[in-house]
Amino acid sequence: MKKLVKNAYLLTMEKEVDGSLRQPFLGEILIDGDNIVQVGEHLNEIETVGVEVIDGKDTLVMPGLVNTHSHAGMSLLRGYGDDLPLNTWLFERVFPVEDNMTPEDVYWGSMLSICEMIRSGTTCFADMYFFADALAEAVAETGIRANISRCIDHSEAKLKESCDFYTKWQGAAGGRITACLSPHSPYLCPPSFLREMAAEAKRLNTFLNIHLAETAKEQADYEREYGKRQMEKLEEVGFFDLPVLGAHLVHISDKELDILARHQVAAAHDPRSNLKLGNGVAPVSKMLAKGLTVSIGTDSSCSNNNLDMFEELRMAALLQKGITGDPTVLPAGETLTCATVNGAAALQLQAEIGTLTVGKKADMIFVDLTKPHMQPGHDKISDLVYAAKGSDVKTVLVNGEILMKNYELLHIDEERVMAAAKQAAQRITAK
């Protein structure tokens, strides 16, 4: 069925000829099935019989936000290990409880996260975790888009499981599910294993998603063990010879930045998780200056503690201004680009999502402009980054399907999800 969006301000996230971001304009979007077929101020006369009209009055329509780093199943651990350093949090709180988790637990934790993501404007997310089939089933059922991978440590059996998952789920759910390979990190996967994973990713024609340089301690320990810093060693073993998405990248030297730029490694910047765990601030302004594709992620709601990408946008922009002393760094338009265009590129989905462009998938969100904090509306792009909240998202479409309309989730029983997730969380932590 065709859909026609009318009376809305459109922020397409396309660039003007001079390279600037196209400003929002009052316009219309015609959707046919899962694709955008027309975008403009005034579309040609359209036969409205059999067309669902979506009134966008008092809203801004923009591409859905792309969260490039999450662990959806970990919503069951929200608030469970707060105010602890990363190593203590991970090895003494998170890992022991995760040992109690079943596929059903990951399913309900993922469902809870998906409810939260849809409600706050995320239409696509990248996730690396275990029991990946359970997450894939949740994604298939709910209509959201995701890149999913089985996150593994040094294990040949898990590598096979990861490759099997890719074969099973790549392109599933009408193309909404894509997959890749995810070694957890250089400190859990030795160089020889990372070389092997890179070879498998090349065979499958996919990319690699990995945690990199999250803490100063892991970099120091790695250099002590291998005689080189993480990026230097990974380049040496050929890990960067194919596309890589690196999460965090907080503690990297200028030499390592050059390595990342040389291999066009994409970065998933997770500002609030990095701050909460006391790990510092990634040098995003330097990354952008080097030409890296910088995207935005939330990390898990166990280390964040929510999945609101609008909060993440604001934090990302403010932090770079604060640490550089330059208020012009990471302006609002560039920050939004990180969460849309760059997010799509980081997941190898730039041909499908990231802008409201004819031929791309109809993934879009409607932001309510009537809220007091969105007034008086001098600069709508600025307002999206510095004033908007996830709770301002009114309507969400993915693949042309309406997932939330006027703040109501249409395909998910939220009450059931929250009850089941709470029960699962109580069981795994009680052990």
Convert the pLDDT of each residue in 361-407 to its tens digit. 999 999 999 999 999 999 999 999 999 999 999 999 999 999 999 99
Distance CA 311, CA 316 (A): 9
Q: Tokens 């040992």 identify what position?
A: 99
- Give the mean pLDDT of 213-230: 97
Q: 134: burial class by Cβ within 10 Å (0-12, 13-18, 19+)?
A: buried
pLDDT of residue 262: 97
Give the residue extent of every domain in the chain. Answer: 2-63+360-409, 65-346
Percent of the chain with pLDDT over 90: 95
- Count of CB atoms situated within 10 Å of the CB of 132: 27
How far apart (Å, rounded) are the C-alpha atoms in residues 231 and 253?
A: 9
For the segment 281-290, the average pLDDT, to the nearest whole number, is: 97
The residue to which tokens 């193309």 are assigned: 175
Q: 328 pLDDT exceeds 80?
A: yes
For the chain, the residue count is: 431
* This prediction's pTM: 0.97
What distance in Å separates the CA atoms of residue 101 and residue 97, rounded to the nearest whole number?
7
Q: Which ranges in 91-190 belong to alpha helices (H)?
A: 95-98, 103-119, 132-142, 156-169
Per-residue pLDDT, 51? 92
Give pLDDT tens digits for 73-130. 999 999 998 998 888 888 899 999 999 999 999 999 999 999 999 999 999 999 999 9
- Block residue for tokens 């888009």: 145
What is the topology classification, in CATH, of domain 65-346? TIM Barrel (3.20.20)
Say how far apart CA 361 and CA 54 lie, in whole Å: 17
Torsions phi, psi for 311 (to 5 deg): -65, -40
Largest distance between two CA atoms of the chain: 69
CA geometry: angle 73, 75, 76, nearest 5 deg: 90
CB 114 within 8 A of CB 150: no
What is the pLDDT, as a whole number, of residue 89?
A: 87
Instruction: Please give the mean pLDDT across all residues of the chain.
Output: 96
Instruction: Assign 3-state DSSP to the chain and report helix, strand, coil percentages, each to 5.
Output: 40, 25, 35
* pLDDT reported for residue 36: 98
Name the pLDDT band for 15 (thresholds 50, 70, 90).
Answer: very high
- Would you identify the CATH topology of the domain 2-63+360-409? Urease, subunit C; domain 1 (2.30.40)
Residue 293 above 90 pLDDT?
yes
